[in-house]
Amino acid sequence: MRKLLFLLKKEFRQIRRNPFMARAIIAVPLLQMLILVPAITFEIKRIDLAVTDYDMSPASRELISKLSGSSFFRIIGAAAGQAGADQLLLSGDADIVLIIPDDFSEGLAGFGKPTLQVLADAVNATSAQLGWNYLVSVVRDYNRDVIISSGLAPSAIPGISVSSRFWYNPDLNYKYYMLPGILVILITAIGLLMAGLNLVREKEIGTIEQINVTPVKRWELIASKVIPFFIIGLFDLALGLTVGWIAFDIPFEGSLLLFFACAAIFLVAVLGLALFFSTMASTQQQFLFIAFFFVMIFILMSGIFTPSESMPRWAQQFNLVNPVAYLMRINRMVMLKGSGFQDIARDMGALTILALTFITLAIRAYRKRA
């Protein structure tokens, strides 16, 4: 036990002595929180709409003013014919081009079926679809108005309206959504990269040999490498949370204790992985690539940016062994919805099993070479 204390002292001293490390421990969470959290949003603020009006009638002008009156669309001018429309979409100046045919007002007056043509830039499939949905609903409203004002329709046209509310985050503030996710990336990066690099570094510069010939036991060596980063990880989590709270006023509905307990279990899992990967690499560069490879897969699959329910079955099954996916879910539920222990007990249990498995694997793979 005393040996472990000495080793820990050595590790902390080394970390403190490296000015870069000290700065990274403070600067990384600050930068991530302050720069990345406000940036990330899927919210569509405005759609640049070009309108080609071949009709030039009061009716078409009315429709255009309806569109420009909606908060989603910004009319950026007219496209000159098909070629002009193509060019606007190619250059990215317009997201959607709307073509109003020359028989639009005639058709509305009851002599035919006017057809609007919509050309949407669909490179980003989601925004194309949402833009199209908005456009359809504006045109439908306009159509209803026309029918009612023409006096052709019976006084009441049956219609179902929809009212929507958002719980836990009424304004759909993306910062509330991203902050718990970025916190997970933060402690993953610290746990996996920093701890792993530290271990491989000793291997690469040969000092591990020196430690190996001392009477230090295997578990003591491993513990001395893991514990500092466990502490740093929790410290950075607290720091990130505080920054988020001060800078973005992020609510915290659930139990802090539960939150940190889950993070601690997660850190054990990640440190186990770091240790395991470090046994596979002999240089820091190699470790970096192995770690990067897995971190990237874990993070992208975890549902940080995209709904994980939309993923195919095999991907969801992969997430059963993905610690990042569990913490991503737990963090959001505890922070935003105030989910309690019972709500997340299954996820927590699974995470614990993962942590134990990874750390056991790592210790077995780690050979103290004589």
Write out the binding residues for another protein, residues 303-322 only, by CB under 8 A: 305-307, 309-312, 314-315, 318
Nearer to another protein by C-beta: 77 or 106? 106
* Contacting residue, 58, 69, 110, 215, with another protein by CB under 8 A: 110
DSSP 303: T
Considering only residues 233 to 292 of the shown chain, the ones binding another protein according to CB under 8 A are: 280-281, 283-286, 288-290, 292
- State the minimum distance, in angstroms, from the CB of residue 91 to another protein: 5
DSSP 281: -
Q: How many residues bind another protein (CB under 8 A)?
A: 118
- State the minimum distance, in angstroms, from the CB of residue 158 to another protein: 4
* Contacting residue, 113, 257, 369, 370, with another protein by CB under 8 A: 113
Task: Say which residues have a Cβ less than 8 Å from residue 138's Cβ, sequence separation at least 6.
Answer: 66, 67, 70, 73
Considering only residues 3 to 22 of the shown chain, the ones binding another protein according to CB under 8 A are: 18, 20-21
Name the one range near another protein by CB under 8 A: 113-121, 216-224, 240-248, 353-361.
113-121
Asked if 207 interacts with another protein (CB under 8 A), we say: no
Instruction: Calculate ∠ Cα 127-129-134, nearest 5°.
Output: 90
Asked if 24 interacts with another protein (CB under 8 A), we say: yes
* Contacting residue, 3, 61, 66, 337, with another protein by CB under 8 A: 337
DSSP 123: S
* Contacting residue, 71, 164, 215, 370, with another protein by CB under 8 A: 164
Q: Quick check: 211 and 221 in contact, CB under 8 A?
A: yes
* Contacting residue, 297, 320, 353, 365, with another protein by CB under 8 A: 297
DSSP 319: G
Asked if 360 interacts with another protein (CB under 8 A), we say: no
* Contacting residue, 70, 169, 212, 255, with another protein by CB under 8 A: 169
Instruction: Calculate ∠ Cα 302-306-311, nearest 5°.
Output: 75
- State the minimum distance, in angstroms, from the CB of residue 331 to another protein: 10
Nearer to another protein by C-beta: 36 or 216? 36
What's the CA gap between 110 and 94, in Å, rounded?
32
Among residues 193, 235, 178, 186, the alpha carbon closest in space to that of 37 is found at 178
Q: 155-178 burial by CB neighbour count: b if 16+ within 10 A, else e? A: eeeeeeeeeeeeeeeeeebbbbbb
Considering only residues 51 to 70 of the shown chain, the ones binding another protein according to CB under 8 A are: none
* Contacting residue, 17, 43, 210, 369, with another protein by CB under 8 A: 43
Q: Quick check: 104 and 59 in contact, CB under 8 A?
A: yes
Distances (CA, A) of 150 to 77, 111, 143, 145, 154: 30, 14, 11, 8, 11
The residue length of the chain stands at: 370
- State the minimum distance, in angstroms, from the CB of residue 211 to another protein: 19
Task: Say which residues have a Cβ less than 8 Å from residue 274's Cβ, sequence separation at least 6.
Answer: 191, 192, 193, 195, 196, 199, 229, 291, 362
* Contacting residue, 71, 149, 163, 210, with another protein by CB under 8 A: 163
Considering only residues 120 to 159 of the shown chain, the ones binding another protein according to CB under 8 A are: 120-130, 132-133, 135-137, 139-140, 142-144, 146-147, 150, 152-154, 156-159
* Contacting residue, 7, 184, 336, 351, with another protein by CB under 8 A: 336
Task: Say which residues have a Cβ less than 8 Å from residue 261's Cβ, sequence separation at least 6.
Answer: 348
